[in-house]
């Protein structure tokens, strides 16, 4: 099987260099382009498997083109080749969603091996589009849920998504708080399109069409934002949410869903489609009372195997200790997030998630731990198992907050 590639570079010299570096019979060069709108036509006409683009310092036009291709042509993979690769370039490539970036390899063999490995890895991911039975292991869908407003659901969802993207995972963050969703504020993004335009304009969604309604955050996380105004919420039906989520899980490593605090049909659809439910609670008797009720409801819906209880703002107060929480809600605590008003508020005011803006804070550390547990696969261990063993396998809390 042949891999068809298109070469794009503003500099004639670089095009020649790239061509000379490809001398593998499995790799066919379909053509080349200097970029710009002519490149778009060429891509459209030749439908390459892989586009190889050269990237120099400050080449924002190259990055913009890469972003467009990545968003609109998920079946065409982009490789960026830099003459001198530095951290800044690497970060800017990841920001536009391109994870395949290398310094010009020293030999044609090395270059061909790299192209083939990118092609094979991406193909394996796309294969799951047609093989529904593989979906369970290929993607983790997490609903971040809680029994009340203001518990920190959006804080956890947004920071976790960014952290997972930093770990080079493909992450989509879906704002299903359809009336008052505020992920755009947490991430300081201005969506051109939201879930409303998506459900109104696309009847039979494909991964290609859905991605064009997303906004790419600078961390590389793809975000499907909530409607701009609460009255649009009712235009989104549970059926559309169901088909959207089953589509997203075919492409992304992690689908993270932020929810509104209610047992609405939309939330139930998200919860039932999820592999994990991050159930956020806090140290307050009224929150705990509602949390207990919600967990029994999830129990009657046979969803508790997926529940992972996260205590946010976990500080031992005189009235309720963290151990009391477990007793009150009758369910094991899976993780604790410390309380840090300053770091949280500062992140929100600046629109920079704390995992990026204050990476060494305890708050960020606790999200990093969560992300590590997810990436290791240990988050999928049954809670029942955890219940049996004294103390969870999980590391946190690393310290008493």
Ligand X SMILES: Nc1ncnc2c1ncn2[C@@H]1O[C@H](COP(=O)(O)OP(=O)(O)OP(=O)(O)O)[C@@H](O)[C@H]1O
Judged by the rule CB under 6 A, the positions of this chain that interact with ligand X are: 146, 149-155, 177, 261, 312-313, 337, 339-341, 344-345, 348, 363
Cβ 174 to ligand X, closest distance in Å?
14
Paired with 216 in beta bridges are 222
Q: How far apart are CA 79 and CA 343, in angstroms?
A: 37
Distance of alpha carbon 20 from the chain centroid: 37
Whats the size of the chain, residue-wise?
401
CB of 352 vs ligand X, minimal distance in Å: 12
184 binds Mg ion (CB under 5 A): no
If contact means CB under 5 to 8 A according to the sort of partner, which of Mg ion, ligand X, none does residue 345 touch?
Answer: ligand X
If contact means CB under 5 to 8 A according to the sort of partner, which of ligand X, Mg ion, none does residue 97 touch? none
- Other Cβ atoms less than 10 A from the Cβ of 80: the count is 24
Nearer to ligand X, 98 or 367 (CB): 367
Alpha helices in 57-194 (DSSP H): 60-72, 87-95, 108-127, 135-138, 153-166, 183-187
Binding-site size, Mg ion (CB under 5 A): 2
**Closest CB to ligand X among 149 and 330?**
149
Give the per-residue SS3 of 24-40: CCCEEEEEEECCHHHHH
- What the block records as the tokens of 208 is 């290609």
Question: CA–CA separation, 384 vs 356, rounded Å?
Answer: 34
Q: Report the nearest approach of ligand X to the CB of residue 213 (Å).
A: 22
CA angle, residues 76, 80, 86, in degrees to nearest 5: 150
Choice between 21 and 156, CB closer to ligand X: 156
Q: Apex CA 227: angle with CA 225 and CA 228, to 5°?
A: 105
Q: Which does 339 bind (CB under 5 to 8 A by kind): ligand X, Mg ion, none?
A: ligand X
Q: Find which of Mg ion, ligand X, none residue 141 binds, CB within 5 to 8 Å per kind.
A: none
Task: Report the residue number, 262 or 365, with the smaller CB distance to Mg ion.
Answer: 262
Instruction: Select 39 or 367, whichever has its Cβ closest to ligand X.
Output: 367
Helix (H) or strand (E) holding 325: helix 322-329
Least separation in angstroms between residue 143's CB and Mg ion is 13
User: Which of 41, 36, 37, 42 lies closest to 6 in space, CA to CA?
Assistant: 42
Q: Which does 152 bind (CB under 5 to 8 A by kind): Mg ion, ligand X, none?
A: ligand X
> Residues 138-177: x/- map of binding to Mg ion (CB under 5 A)?
---------------xx-----------------------
Residues forming the site for Mg ion (CB under 5 A): 153-154
């Amino acid at each position: 099987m042949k891999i068809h590639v298109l070469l794009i570079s503003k500099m004639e010299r670089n095009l020649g260099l790239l061509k000379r570096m490809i001398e593998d019979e499995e790799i066919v060069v379909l053509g080349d382009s200097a970029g710009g709108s002519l490149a778009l036509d060429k891509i459209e006409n030749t439908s390459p498997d892989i586009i190889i683009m050269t990237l120099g310092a400050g080449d924002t036009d190259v990055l913009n083109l890469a972003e467009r291709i990545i968003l609109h042509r998920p079946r065409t993979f982009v490789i960026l080749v830099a003459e001198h690769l530095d951290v800044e370039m690497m970060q800017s490539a990841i920001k536009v969603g391109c994870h395949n970036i290398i310094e010009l390899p020293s030999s044609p063999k090395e270059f061909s091996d790299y192209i083939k490995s990118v092609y094979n890895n991406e193909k394996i991911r796309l294969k799951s589009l047609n093989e529904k039975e593989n979906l369970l292991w290929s993607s983790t869908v997490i609903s971040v849920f809680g029994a009340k407003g203001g518990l920190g659901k959006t804080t956890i969802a947004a920071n976790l998504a960014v952290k997972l993207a930093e770990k080079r995972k493909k992450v989509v963050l879906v704002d299903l708080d359809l009336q008052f969703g505020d992920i755009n504020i947490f991430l300081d993004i201005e969506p051109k399109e939201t879930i409303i335009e998506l459900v109104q304009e696309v009847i039979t969604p494909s991964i290609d069409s859905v991605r064009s309604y997303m906004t790419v955050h600078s961390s590389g996380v793809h975000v499907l934002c909530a409607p701009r105004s609460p009255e649009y919420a009712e235009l989104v039906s549970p059926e559309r949410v169901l088909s959207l989520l089953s589509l997203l899980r075919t492409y992304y490593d992690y689908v993270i869903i932020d929810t509104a605090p209610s047992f609405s049909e939309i939330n139930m659809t998200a919860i039932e489609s999820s592999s994990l439910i991050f159930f956020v609670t806090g140290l307050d008797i009224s929150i705990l009372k509602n949390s207990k009720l919600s967990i029994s409801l999830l129990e009657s819906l046979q969803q508790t195997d997926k529940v992972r209880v996260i205590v946010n703002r976990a500080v031992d107060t005189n009235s309720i200790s963290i151990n009391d929480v477990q007793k009150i809600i009758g369910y094991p605590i899976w993780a604790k997030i410390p309380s840090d008003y300053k770091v949280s508020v500062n992140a929100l005011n600046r629109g920079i998630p704390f995992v990026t803006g204050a990476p060494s804070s305890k708050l960020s550390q606790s999200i990093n731990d969560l992300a590590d547990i997810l990436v290791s696969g240990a988050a999928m261990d049954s809670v029942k198992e955890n219940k049996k063993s004294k103390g969870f396998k999980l590391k946190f809390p690393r310290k008493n907050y």
